[in-house]
Chain A
Amino acid sequence: MLTKLHGKTVIQLILGFIFGLFFGLFLQKGGVTKYDVIIGQLLLKDFTVLKVMISAMLTGMIGIYAMKAFGWVKLHPKPGSAGMSILGGLMFGAGFATLGYCPGTMAGALGNGYLDAVAGIAGMLIGAGIFAALFPGIRRSILSKGDFGDITLPRLFRVNEWWVIIPLGVLCVLLLKWIESRGL
């Protein structure tokens, strides 16, 4: 659906910007453009970040899988591997705690007036550049180790998508209720 719209380069760039405005609005209103909120999450004192992420994930998941059932949207699962996802994920996490912002929230932090995000952005550009330089050397030796491809959980378990979505939804709601009951 709407493939004509998807192919219009300039309109897509404008749409990207408009989506970004809304993303910035939600991040700021949710409180996650703040270092104190993010570091509070990683110190397990303030669960705002997880609440925002889980409710975004649940809402997105139900809507997108429903629209997929009508043939309105296509999925875009990213490839992963043990070498990529575990090692990269842990390094990302270390950076997340050291900086106190992630790539999206540091753009939001800058919009909020938090100037330490400028050092974060400079670091992010340097880190991405170093990775691009090392990429040819680690592509085969590390990144492709333990490849999972772009498999999704329903395909992995060989079940209908809704057999994953519904139990996962229930689990997430229970987890959030438990977090709330602890006053976090």
Chain B
Amino acid sequence: MDWLLEARWSPYIAGIGIGVLSWFTFLLSNKPIGCSTAFARTSGMIEKIFRGKKVSLKPYYQQFKPVVDWEWMLVLGIIPGAFISAVLSGDFRWQWIPGRWAVAFGTVLWIRLLVALTGGILLGFGSRWAGGCTSGHGISGTLQLTLGSWVAAVCFFIGGIAAAFLIYNVIG
């Protein structure tokens, strides 16, 4: 079981693992791997606490009901899965500011958190606009050869590369 203790695996082995995992999600659960819908459902659940049942009547939440479903449990499972893996790898540590960020922009915490929050808003908005994320379109959609997912996945990287160059080479 030494392989479970290794700090990193070859990215190809990790990728093949995710590919094989998707065979099982299709076979045993009749579902592709995806993540962003779970965040939309959670957002609806939180809104329901403040604004009551009428939130469920919003057209978007009629389509994606604000309830715990299979995908929600999958996203929840990622957290302990990565935690166990990080501990076994000897790689777990509390960290507020990532290394590359600190080198380019320093270690002021509120700046990193404000930028991360802004990025998160764009990510949440963009993933629901596109109807999926790097998992739902980028892996599950491309492996099913869906046209819309291929277009979305290519645009994720075009937008991502352009923004990263802007942030690190123009601003930073």
Contacts and interface: CB of A to CB of B under 8 A. Distances in A.
Contact of B71 (A16, A21, A102, A161): A16
B165 A6 contact: no
B101 to A, nearest CB: 7
Nearest to A127: B124
Chain A binding site: helix, strand, loop or mixed by DSSP? helix
The interface residues of chain B, by DSSP majority, are classed as: helix
B159 A92 contact: yes
A77 B141 contact: yes
Interface string B16-41: 11111111111111111101101110
Contact of B123 (A81, A95, A152): A95
A87 B144 CA distance: 22
Given A88-B152, A119-B113, A126-B120, A113 B86 contact: yes
Interface residues of B, number: 127
A174 interface: no
Nearest to A42: B164
Contacts of B127: 88, 92, 95, 103, 124, 127-128
Contacts of A131: 40, 60, 124-125, 128-129
A78 interface: yes
A93 B160 contact: yes
Given A79-B148, A85-B151, A67 B23 contact: yes
